[in-house]
Structure 1
Amino acid sequence: MADFGVLTLPAFRGNGHGRHVVRALARHALSRGHEPQYRCQLDNHASVAPHRAGTTKPAIYRRWGTLPDLALDALTARLGRLRAPSSDCTICDLSDAIKLYVAAFQRMPPEALASLLADCGDDPQRREDFMAALFDPPRAAVGQVLDGALARGDLRDDVDRGLLLDLLASLVHDRALFGHAVTSDDEVEQAVHTLLRGVAVDYPKLVEISRKKDGDPQIHHRHA
C-alpha cells in the first residue's frame, strides 16, 4: 500500500497541478507493485468527488490514464446509440434524425465538449477516438436518411451529399459548442424545409407525403 496526499493552495486549485502530481505518484506506486491510496481534504470538492462516487483518483487513472480519456468515455455513454429513422418520408425522417442529433448533444455539457475537442489538438489518436465516438454516429444517422432520400429520387441528382450533411449538422454543432441558443423542434423542421426547398426534386410532393404520414395536415400548415 502506498499512501499519499497532495495539498494545493486554494488560489492555485483548478489548474491541473494536483492532477499531474497524483498521476505521477500513482504511476510510480504501481510500477513498484504497490496499491495507491490517496488522501484528500473534505474542503476540496474535486478530490472528494471520486470518494463519493465509490472510487479513488488512482483507480480512475488506472482505468482511463488521463482525464480527457475519462471525459470521452463519459460523453460517449451520454450519447447512447443512435438509429436512423426510416419511414420513407424524407421530411419526417430528416426532421427526426436532426432532433435525435440535437437531443444527443444536449446531453453533453458545452464546456466539456469544447474542452475535450481542444485536448485533441496535439493528439491524433485522441482526435480519431473523439471523431469515432461523438462526431461520426449522429452524422451517420442523418447520412443514412439522405441516402434513402437520394435512392427514392426525392433529392436532385446534383446534390452534394457531404455539403448537405454539413449544413444540417452545423446547426447542431454550432449551438452545442457555444451554448448560445437552444434548438427547438420547430427550428429543426424549419431548417429541414428550408434546405429541401432548394435540393428536392418535388418539394410540394414531399410536404404532402409528410402530411399523410403525420395524419394531421395542420402540422405543416406553414408549407401548404
Structure 2
Amino acid sequence: MVGTRAQRVERGPGRPREERVTTAALNAVIELVAEGGVEAVTMDAVAARAEVSKPAIYRRWPSKQALIIAAAETRIGALSVPDLGDVRAELREVLTARLASYRRPGTGRLLAELIGAAAGDSGVRGEYAAYADRMMGETRSILERGIARGEVRSDVDIRSAATLVAAPLVYRLLAEPELPDAQFVDDLVDLLVRAVGRSA
C-alpha cells in the first residue's frame, strides 16, 4: 500500500514541482543581480543557485535577457487598477503599488542594472523596451479613462504622460539620497493631476 501511494505521488500532477523550479530560478536571478549585477547572471550560475538543471531553465526562458526580464516582472510587474471614477485615485493606486515594489530589498539594484543593460546593448534594447511598455500599460489606460471622463485634457499625449508618471519614482530611488515614500507619492499625484488635468 505504501509503495502504491509513493508511485501515485511520483506520477501525480507536475504543477507543484514546475512552480518550485520557476520560483527558485527567478529568485536566484534577483539574488545574483543584487550581488554582482546582470553580468553575474549566467544560466550556469542560476542553475547552481536555484538547484535546478540548465535544461529546465532553457525550457522556460530561451535567453538570459528573457530570464532577467521574467525575474524583474516578479518584482515590478504589470498592474490592474479598476475604474475608480477618479484619475487622481487611480494614479495613486499605481504609484503606491510601485512604491511598495521599489522599496523591497534589491529592487533598486535590479532596476539600475536593467536600465544599464538596455542602454549598453542595442541587441537587447527591444526586449527591455517591450517589458517597460507592458509595465506602463495600465497607466496609459488610466489616462485614457481620464480623457473619456473629461478629467484629463484631450490634447495630452498619452505616451509622454505615462512616462511622466513612471519616471519620478525611479529617479528618486536610483539617483537621489532620499528614498521615495508615501508623501512623495501624494506630492507626485498632485503635480501630475495639475499637469494633465482639464483645469491645468
The structure whose residues are more often helix, as a share, is: 2
Q: Matched residue of 2:136: which SS? A: helix
Q: Equivalent residue for 1:122?
A: 121
Unaligned runs of 5+ in 1: 1-13, 24-46, 204-224
Match of 1:153 in 2: 150
**How far apart are 1:118 and its partner, in Å?**
2.7
State the one-letter code of the partner of 2:109.
E
Contact 2:153 2:196 survives alignment (8 Å): yes
Decide whether aligned partners of structure 1 residues 122 and 52 sit closer, same or farther in structure 2, where only a CA change above 3 A counts. Answer: closer
Given that 1:84 and 1:97 are in contact with CA atoms closer than 8 Å, whether structure 2 keeps it comes out as yes
Query: Residues 108 and 174 of structure 2 are in contact (CA less than 8 Å); yes or no, is this contact kept in structure 1?
Result: yes
Note the aligned Cα RMSD (angstroms).
3.5
Whichever residue aligns with residue 183 of structure 1, its letter is P
Greater CA radius of gyration, 1 or 2?
1
Amino acid at match of 1:116: L
Q: Contact 1:97–1:145 (CA<8 Å) still a contact in 2?
A: no
**1:156 positional shift:** 2.7
Distance 1:171-1:18 versus aligned 2 partners, 3 A rule: closer
State percent identity of aligned pairs: 24
- The Cα offsets for residues 99-122 of structure 1, whole Å up to 9 and x where unpaired, read as 223334445622233223333332
* Aligned residue among 115, 140, 143 for 1:143: 140
AA aligned opposite 2:134:
P
- C-alpha displacement of 1:198: 4.1
Residue 98 of structure 1: CA displacement?
Answer: 1.9
1:189 match: 186
Alpha-carbon distance in 2 for matches of 1:17, 1:188: 33
Q: Extract unaligned runs of 5+ from structure 2.
A: 1-35
State whether residues 82 and 137 of structure 1, in contact with CA within 8 Å, keep that contact through their aligned partners in structure 2. Answer: no
1:174 maps onto 2:171 in alignment: yes
Instruction: Give the corresponding residue for 2:161.
Output: 164
Partner of 2:82: 85
Question: For the residues of structure 1 that align with 2:136 and 2:163, how far apart are their CA atoms?
Answer: 9
Please report how far the alpha carbon of residue 184 of structure 1 lies from its aligned counterpart in structure 2 after TM superposition. Answer: 1.7
Does structure 2 conserve the Cα–Cα contact (< 8 Å) formed by 1:156 and 1:200? Answer: yes
CA contact (8 A) 1:82 1:138 kept: yes
Distance change >3 Å, CA 161–CA 62, structure 1 → 2: closer
- State the distance in 2 between where 1:144 and 1:61 align: 34
Counterpart contact for 1:139–1:165, Cα < 8 Å = yes
Once residues 113 and 175 of structure 1 are traced to their aligned partners in structure 2, the CA distance between those partners, rounded to angstroms, is 12
Contact kept? 2:76, 2:98, Cα under 8 Å: no
Amino acid at match of 2:179: V
Alignment of 1:21-170 (within 5 A): 50-51=47-48, 53-56=50-53, 58-59=54-55, 62-63=58-59, 64=61, 67-107=64-104, 109-120=107-118, 121-124=120-123, 126-133=124-131, 135-170=132-167
2:183 partner SS: helix
Distance 2:73 2:114 in 1: 12
Between the two proteins, the alignment pairs up a number of residues equal to: 162
